[in-house]
Amino acid sequence: MSLDFTLTRYEELCQALLQSGYVPMTIADYVEAGKLPAKLVIMRHDVDQTADTALKMARVESRLGVKATYYFRFKRRTFKPKIMKEISSLGHEVGYHYETLDKARGDYEKAMKIFERELSAFRESVQVKTISKHGNPLTRWDNVHLWQKHDFKALGVLGEAYMSLGEVLYLSDTGRTWGGEYKMKDWVPTKGDGQGQPRATPQLRTTAELIGLVRTGQHPALCLNTHAGRWADSPLGWAFSLMNDTAVNVVKRMLILWPSLKKERARRVEAVRQ
């Protein structure tokens, strides 16, 4: 059995989806579709750390006939026009993974100016039809809230990956698990405006468990989000990815528990005072 979160395992997932009758779609395909397939899977990738693995993943998909959307951050290690162009040439969609409210420290007008500037830089190399927020668990802002005061459609953007999905089962590999244990900002809300509570998702831990769910066909509309840098193609890369995810998960666990710890501490202080 192959290790989890490798390109080999990802190819097995793609094959299972195709064998189970799912039609792979990009986010743009989904937004623009007049009539959706009876069984569909939206294939999405967030390119957060490095662009090289994204290209390898895109080549695997192209060989299998799978179309996907790749959202690139506007960062030195990820904003690679040459790689983005090659991924686009393989038939995939390339989009903008924005984080401008974080960069502007909550200033909506400044965030919008950054957004327009970065979107323009993307469009010098590739067509950008859809966008997706980046979720940093260490910041207080949620980048999707930018659209409470502005309209991305005014910039020729057709959809936002967290706001433009209908009734689909959204599953992400955030936290190196397909469940919701470590997903602080990576969830699709119950409302289509980026608001509301997270939609309920199965507690799947491994890709093998996800493949098992795929083969049942019980969810006819899926959206799978992977983070390309997590899916290694070598033992060294896999070990590095595992160590990085483990460290990040420790921090996330502390952030998740901190509010309840503060509340318990306050309760104890109040009990002592009484």
Per-residue pLDDT of the chain (274 residues; tens, 9 = 90+): 479 999 999 999 999 999 999 999 999 999 999 899 999 999 999 999 889 999 999 999 999 999 999 999 999 999 999 999 999 999 999 999 999 999 999 999 999 999 999 999 999 999 999 999 999 888 999 999 999 999 999 999 999 999 999 999 999 999 899 987 767 677 687 666 556 556 667 789 899 999 999 999 999 999 999 999 999 988 888 887 888 878 877 877 777 665 654 554 555 545 445 5
Distance CA 7, CA 50 (A): 15
Which residues touch 205 (CB under 8 Å, ≥6 apart)? 177, 178, 179
Q: Which pLDDT score, from 0 to 100, does residue 197 have? A: 52
Where in the chain does DSSP place strands (E)?
23-25, 40-47, 69-73, 93-98, 130-133, 159-160, 169-172, 221-227
Q: Can you give the pLDDT at residue 258?
A: 54
User: Degrees (nearest 5) of the Cα angle 220, 225, 227?
Assistant: 160
The sign of the CA dihedral 127, 131, 132, 133 is: positive
Alpha-carbon gap, residue 191 to 194, rounded angstroms: 6
- The Cα–Cα gap between 10 and 241 comes to 15
Identify the pLDDT of residue 130.
98
- As a whole number of angstroms, the distance between CA 189 and CA 84 comes to 29
Architecture label for domain 7-273: Alpha-Beta Barrel (3.20)
Give the pairing of strands 169-172 and 159-160: unpaired
40 by DSSP, 3-state: which?
A: strand
pLDDT of residue 108: 98
* Helix axes of 81-89 and 52-64: crossing angle, nearest 10 degrees: 10
Return d(Cα 245, Cα 274) in angstroms, integer.
44
Residue 62 CB partners (closer than 8 Å, separation 6+):
90, 91, 92
106 conformational bin, left if phi > 0, alpha if psi -120 to 50, beta if neither: left
Q: Could you tell me if residue 261 is left (phi over 0), alpha (psi between -120 and 50 degrees) or otherwise beta?
A: alpha
pLDDT at residue 198, rounded to an integer: 60
Identify whether the C-beta of residue 111 lies closer than 8 Å to the C-beta of residue 103: yes
